[in-house]
Chain A
Amino acid sequence: MENKKGAGMKLNLNLNLTKKNIPILSSIGIFLLLYVVGGLFFNGFFSIGVFSNLFYDNAFLGVLAVGMTLVIISGGIDLSVGSVIGFTCTFIAYLVEVKQMNPVLAMFLSLVIGTTAGTLMGFLIHNFKLPAFLVTLVGMFLFRGLAYQVSLESIPIRNELFLEMSQVGLFEYNGRTLFPMASLIFIFMVMLGVYMSHFRKFGRNIYAIGGSEPSAVLMGLPVGRTKIMVYAFSGFCSALGGIVYTFYLQSGYALAGVGMELNVIAAVVIGGTLLTGGAGFIEGTLVGVLILGLIDTILNFYGQLSSWWFRIFIGLLLFLFILLQTWLTRSNIFLKYAMKQQQKRNDAAKGLQETSQHS
């Protein structure tokens, strides 16, 4: 009898694993496939330099994606991230170069602005029940416009402290800094995201709200506060992503990050987060970001395919993953039904056994 119960449980677990993890498993599969294909076709693809660059070139994307993942899990969307990057870049470059401000202070200020803007958007979304895409679309307009307001021209950054900071890295290899500051921030934010989403009430409440907001309200969870905080965090991530991008560009440019929100959303979705909210992993988003990076790297190695193929591939992958999600949530109904029928009998029998055992 003990045996039988164990078997039933195992079956459940297996079904669970596949159902919940199909998207993230596919992401990991695609990543490995791309990596191996790249390695087989191109010399030097498997080098540590390429691997390190994967984390460097996509650091800003990754930082944004951490915030975006939480927003999407909560059932919302943030279209303002690309513009916040553009604003932050221009703002920092302007303060440091034109106003001769200490770069640390400039970065701090931009983080404050990003977080405040996120809080404000969250407030509008929650308190006035405005659609998230609309409010963040306005944020997108606003920050792009503000970036232009700060400076129409590109401002190169020559501040030594700033340049030094961007060069701090994990270790040197062949005279190159591997995993410089930008990558470290990226990795730190992913770890922070994983920690928050698994071990903090805040993180778990995000899942609950995305899973079913009415239920979350009935359970007495702090829905409003959590939603506003999610957008605030995304605003913080956007500003931090802007800082990372400034490290990368070493200049400020108002057009920086145009269309970036789409790459970020694509990375999150390709990483296996459900666009309807309630399910997803920061770990998956990391894989999604790396997939985007790999596609870019492969296109660079190949050389003949031009940059626009990047957009088309991303669009295609996005499409496939959205179809996969739709199919999964759809077929859920059938799957659930079949499982329910089967489990109904199991559970009833089990429940009865339990009760008879105890009484």
Chain B
Amino acid sequence: MVQSELLEIRGLSKSFPGVRALTDVDFSLKSGEIHALLGENGAGKSTLIKTLTGVYKKDAGKVFFDGKEFEAHSPAHAGQNGISTVYQEVNLIPGLSVAENIYLGREPMKYGNIDWKQMRAGAQKALAKLRIKLDVNQELSSCSIAIQQMVSIARALDVSAKVLILDEPTSSLDEGEVASLFEVMRNLRSQGIAIVFITHFLDQVYEICDRITVLRNSKLVGVFNVNELSKVDLVTHMLGKELDEESRKSHKKDGQSAGDVFMELKDVVASGLGQMNLKVRKGEVLGFAGLLGSGRTEVAEILFGIRKPLSGELLLNGKKTNLKNPRNAISHGIAFCPEDRRREGIIADLSVRENIILAIQARRGIFRTMSRKEQQRIVDKYIEELKIATPDAEQKVQFLSGGNQQKVILARWLASNPKFLILDEPTRGIDVGVKLDIQDLVGALSEEGMAVLFISSELEEVLRSSERVLVLRDRNIVDELTGEDINGAKVMHTIAEGSTDV
């Protein structure tokens, strides 16, 4: 293996309105290595990739590629220069043939026309380099995701890629497919191609990668050789520094004092999730710990009636219930703050006031409208309590910063006074002060008897706020921790190794 610096990024910074996505990040890549880029939600992985490949324009920093300073103007420009990306949701055209997908935009021509014969032969050859044989005339959408990724890789290589970025390629593959993909990756590595591998499966990192770069909170944590870093250390780097036990909340009750069971899943199986059991108790903060893609959001969606269990029972207050849809879940006093607030949370065109009162109003129906005075009272109360920074209640919510939008959604659900509040990544992309506010609020709510499910990529936060923590790994609940067992070392070990024994 030739080991020379092929790509070097120095001091890269990028921010979006209200968010710093990358802060002074360095990254280096050698020819013929597979380099894992790891980090949780919002750590800056995808911003790094997108800035490198010209989707975003960098604010500061330098990129050296092949010894020369390089700046990509667009993904296509990056691709032509040898930096190609294969995304998880394959960025090809599903309705066209495999051959065309490899050659779109650079079709072989003959007498000014597309030379289909040569295109097919070329596609066949490009795939053969990956040791894949398939009918290149078939529609891409009729191929499995694994094959589609191979086609995408074949396209990238055919444009003469020196750097191949694989963005979570394995998350929708089964074991056999992952094995074939790794075979291809090893093969490419031996040909001197540098591969950036983004994944949330730690086992895979250890199976195939040479080096690891870890990002957290938009900053570089460090670069490590795989064989010099234990899994537990890796998880620690990803999720945050070794946790200080003292930082756990003093007012927190221990697991025993929680109230009756509000909601229970018994042997529930849903598509993409393993069989699971879980209990939600009144007046308790339940935390989900686990990496991105471990199934956190999916479980929350079952609890809110978005995802239907295939088998097993869902009990509400001890009674078997079938949550038909979110509306049904809401009528049982369940509330859900979704992870993607722009897509699933805020109504951008409406005002702060309207966004807050919508959930209550939806419950009251069309004709039992609240008076403007009553609305104002509720809205003012939450603007003050949650310190929502807005000029006034009539401001359109789309003009607020991310953190304040999050608070508006929180206010929306708090105002409807739910019995069980599900918070999926409530602090994502929010600055530290607001994070602490929200954590305190969660504590206070549970004191008042509300059941809260707290899901976050930041382990520290989950540990600080929760009385009971369920550890998720590879779409299964693998462990339940209470009381003294809730500590960083234990959780990280479980996430890393998947077993309960330390």
Q: Are A339 and B76 in contact (CB under 8 A)?
A: no
Q: Are A211 and B94 in contact (CB under 8 A)?
A: yes
Query: How many residues of chain B have a CB within 8 Å of chain A?
Result: 39
CB of A352 within 8 A of chain B?
A: yes
CB of A153 within 8 A of chain B?
A: no
Q: Are A351 and B95 in contact (CB under 8 A)?
A: no
Determine how close the nearest CB of chain B comes to the CB of A35; give it in whole angstroms: 30
Query: Which residues 125-178 of B have a CB within 8 angstroms of A?
Result: 131-135, 137-139, 141-147, 174, 176-177
Q: Are A355 and B183 in contact (CB under 8 A)?
A: yes
When chains A and B are docked, how far (Å) is the Cα of A214 from the Cα of B323? 36
CB of B75 within 8 A of chain A?
A: yes
Q: Are B174 and A348 in contact (CB under 8 A)?
A: yes
Known contacts A215-B91, A220-B75, A208 near B104 by CB under 8 Å: yes
CB of A326 within 8 A of chain B?
A: no
Query: What's the interface size class on A, roughly?
Result: 35 or more
Q: Which has the most chain A C-beta neighbours within 10 Å: B105, B144, B177?
A: B144
Determine how close the nearest CB of chain A comes to the CB of B92; give it in whole angstroms: 6
- Contact partner, A354, options B91, B114, B131, Cβ 8 Å: B131
When chains A and B are docked, how far (Å) is the Cα of A336 from the Cα of B148? 13
CB of B74 within 8 A of chain A?
A: yes
Query: Which residues 203-230 of A have a CB within 8 angstroms of B?
Result: 204-205, 207-208, 210-212, 214-221
Determine how close the nearest CB of chain B comes to the CB of A266; give it in whole angstroms: 22
CB of A172 within 8 A of chain B?
A: no
Inter-chain contacts of B100 with A (CB < 8 A): 204
Known contacts A219-B91, A344-B177, A347-B177, A13 near B144 by CB under 8 Å: no
Closest to A353 in B: B133
When chains A and B are docked, how far (Å) is the Cα of A344 from the Cα of B210? 28
When chains A and B are docked, how far (Å) is the Cα of A358 from the Cα of B174? 22
Closest to B107 in A: A201
CB of A9 within 8 A of chain B?
A: yes
Determine how close the nearest CB of chain A comes to the CB of B400; give it in whole angstroms: 24
Q: Are A211 and B135 in contact (CB under 8 A)?
A: no
Determine how close the nearest CB of chain A comes to the CB of B351; give it in whole angstroms: 25
Q: Are A211 and B139 in contact (CB under 8 A)?
A: no
CB of A279 within 8 A of chain B?
A: yes
When chains A and B are docked, how far (Å) is the Cα of A219 from the Cα of B151? 13
Q: Are A220 and B93 in contact (CB under 8 A)?
A: no
Q: Which has the most chain A C-beta neighbours within 10 Å: B77, B80, B95, B135?
A: B95
Q: Are B107 and A340 in contact (CB under 8 A)?
A: no
CB of B287 within 8 A of chain A?
A: no
Q: Are B94 and A212 in contact (CB under 8 A)?
A: yes
CB of B227 within 8 A of chain A?
A: no
When chains A and B are docked, how far (Å) is the Cα of A287 from the Cα of B364? 54
Inter-chain contacts of B250 with A (CB < 8 A): none
Inter-chain contacts of A216 with B (CB < 8 A): 93, 104
Inter-chain contacts of B95 with A (CB < 8 A): 207, 210-211, 278-279
- Contact partner, A200, options B74, B113, B132, B141, Cβ 8 Å: B113
Closest to B135 in A: A9
When chains A and B are docked, how far (Å) is the Cα of A359 from the Cα of B137? 26
Q: List 19 A-B contacts (CB under 8 A).
A: A12-B142, A16-B139, A19-B142, A20-B139, A201-B107, A204-B114, A207-B95, A211-B93, A212-B91, A217-B75, A219-B76, A219-B92, A220-B74, A332-B141, A343-B144, A344-B174, A345-B176, A347-B143, A354-B133
Interface residues of B, Cβ cutoff 8 Å to A: 74-77, 79-80, 91-96, 100, 104-105, 107, 113-114, 131-135, 137-139, 141-147, 174, 176-177, 179-180, 183
**6 closest A-B pairs by CB:** A220-B76, A348-B176, A351-B180, A211-B93, A199-B113, A215-B91
